[in-house]
Chain A
Amino acid sequence: MHAVEVADLVKSYPKNPAPAVDHLSFQVQAGEIFGLLGPNGAGKTTTVGVLTTRVLPSGGTAKVGGVDVAADPVSARRKVAVVPQRVNLDRGLNARQNLVFHASYHGLPRRERNRLADELLERMGLADKRTARVDDLSGGQAQRLMIARALIHRPEVLFLDEPSTGLDPQARLFVHDRVRELRGEGVTVVLTTHDMDEAEKLSDRVGIVDHGRLLTLDTPSALIKALPGSGTVDAAVRADGPDEQRVRELLGEVAGVQQVERIGGADGQLRLRLYSDGEPSALLGPVARVLDEHRLPVTDLSLGSASLEDVFIELTGRELR
């Protein structure tokens, strides 16, 4: 049985002619970390809303742990947990009480909810914050507390919405480690994000949606491999030298270079990515020669590899939403 099963799902709103979710179908295996990616307004949040019983579908079916969420939302709520992007902790309660009361809504006996609350606070690195008021928690602490709250009723499927937006790198790594642990425990995780790096690192498989439709679904490495013209070369020159426009023009004229794109340069360097129409390693020699001929101070020249972000941009385009 699949942990999540979405079949021909449609959600349309009366005010909007284009459906937010348009005949979407996918399945998530039990124990898998599944990344649901898409630009803003692609229909990710609506899809997760349907699966967590907060959005009523207009058509199709959505099942969580074998339970149809539209037909039996009460049973479905026992199987899912949500960690939203915005803090929605109970401000009338302290950190530990947030966990204990949530567990009581889900019918856990008193002794068990106390034990689990302490255990989860410990595991989420919040043991010294047990009596802290919600308003006194930092962004990262609130996020961890919401994960702890989501786990306390032992859901089969955990929905994480943009889990590391606004977190510092330490907190981000901590959250990533905890998410991987969950997979080890057999909890299915559905992750919505537009942080491609995060999706690539965490997900077993990713589905990319746009305009409410599924564009592709596979493992991150398979998606990257399938990307047309995935080979690139990254070149960096010292920024105090020539102006950017000239360097780009020079490199654009090298045979085999399809496109030149700036990828960074805040660190006193000008970093450019060259897209090859053939084998990218064939560009290394000619590029080095051109740079040397024009006495440009090269600091780095390397074969780049495409990332999930390239796949994402390739599929969903560059225009702003």
Chain B
Amino acid sequence: MTRTAQRSNAAARLRAFTAVLGRDVFVTGRELPSFLAQVLVQPVAMLFIFGKVLGSLGYTQPGYAQILLPGMVALNAFLVALQNTSFPLVLDFSYSREIEDRLLAPMPVSWVAVEKMLFGAARGLFAALLMIPLGMWMLGEIRWELSGLWFAVLCMVLGSLTGATVGMTVGTAVPPRRINIIFAVILAPLMFTGATQFPWAQLGSLRWFQVLCAFNPLTYVSEGMRGALLPQVPHMSPWVCLVALVAACALFGALGVKLFLRRALD
């Protein structure tokens, strides 16, 4: 193949990739209200009960809301990305088969997997960013260290990407008839072992739980964000968070693409 032919080939593949991404953005735009409900109701309810209600009743110490908000933002980035990658895939490969059209687009099949992860991550990041003003307004008196904001955003981006790669792995590994299991066995444990409602570094008295939480990539998103925005709260070193997230992203990304190819090609 000549070099120009190769270049036009690559351009065609890239065009197909952006067109497929464009389709997902377009459909999200059309379904915005249901998307917002999907990503906001649960974290807002949690924020309200744990940050506001328990606080006003005197069951949590003053300042707990401070610790909770970065965790909830991290939770949204990770879990929304995870769910928005895994659930559509489970449906696509079983009931609707919509994805077949994308799999026959003139680009490598692995790119379809990458597109799905990138788009899931974008939804997660969007949901996380929405939580910030909403949480500040709900909880009042949030004081963040603004110099740490860039690192917090980096953690959100990496957290969304990691959530999407885990979602790709789960969505392609779990057979469609076992979709319920995703909720019970995967989502709930991830939600409660991700250091979103508590600082991981202070778990010394519950050593076994601390070790367990260290296996959840979400822990590194929460800790990274909390460390950057609330440096006075005990936290994990930012470098540990960064390395752990990049490693988790690479590991689950590779695994997810591999499983996706197994499902997409016979």
Contacts and interface: CB of A to CB of B under 8 A. Distances in A.
B38 interface: no
Contacts of B22: 101, 104
Nearest to A50: B266
A78 interface: yes
A160 B23 CA distance: 25
Given A54-B264, A81-B104, A88-B101, 12 more contacts: A56-B266, A77-B106, A89-B101, A90-B98, A90-B101, A91-B96, A92-B23, A92-B30, A101-B19, A105-B105, A107-B16, A149-B101
B105 A106 contact: yes
Interface in B238-266: 264-266
B27 A77 contact: no
A74 B96 contact: no
Nearest to B88: A92
Interface string A74-93: 11011011101011111111
Contacts of B9: 74-75
Contact of A52 (B15, B97, B98, B104): B104
B52 interface: no
A93 B19 CA distance: 14
A contact residues, range: 20 to 34
B105 A55 contact: no
Interface of B: 9, 12-13, 15-16, 19-20, 22-23, 26-27, 30-31, 96-98, 100-109, 264-266
A92 B27 contact: yes
B101 A54 contact: no
Residue among B15, B30, B101, B103 with the most chain A CB within 10 A? B101
Contact of B96 (A55, A81, A88, A102): A88
Nearest to B30: A92
A55 B104 CA distance: 12
Contact of A102 (B97, B101, B264, B266): B101
Nearest to A101: B23
A167 to B, nearest CB: 19
18 contacts: A54-B104, A56-B266, A73-B109, A74-B9, A74-B13, A74-B108, A77-B106, A84-B100, A88-B96, A88-B98, A93-B23, A101-B19, A101-B26, A105-B20, A105-B101, A105-B106, A107-B12, A149-B101
B105 A77 contact: yes
Contacts of A139: none
A90 B100 CA distance: 10
A86 B106 contact: no
Contacts of B108: 73-74
Contacts of B27: 92-93
A25 to B, nearest CB: 21
Given A56-B266, A106-B106, A88 B97 contact: yes
Contacts of B109: 73
Nearest to B28: A92
A105 B100 contact: no
A256 interface: no
B100 A106 contact: no
Contacts of A59: none
A112 B175 CA distance: 40
A309 B162 CA distance: 56
B20 A91 contact: no
Contacts of B107: 74
B256 to A, nearest CB: 19
A49 interface: yes
A164 interface: no
B106 A75 contact: yes
A81 B20 CA distance: 17
Nearest to B91: A91
B101 A78 contact: no
A74 B9 CA distance: 9
Given A101-B23, A104-B22, A55 B265 contact: yes
Contacts of B101: 88-90, 102, 105, 149
A90 B96 CA distance: 8
Contacts of B23: 90, 92-93, 101, 104-105
A80 B23 CA distance: 21
Given A55-B265, A101-B19, A77 B97 contact: no
A89 B98 contact: yes
B79 to A, nearest CB: 22
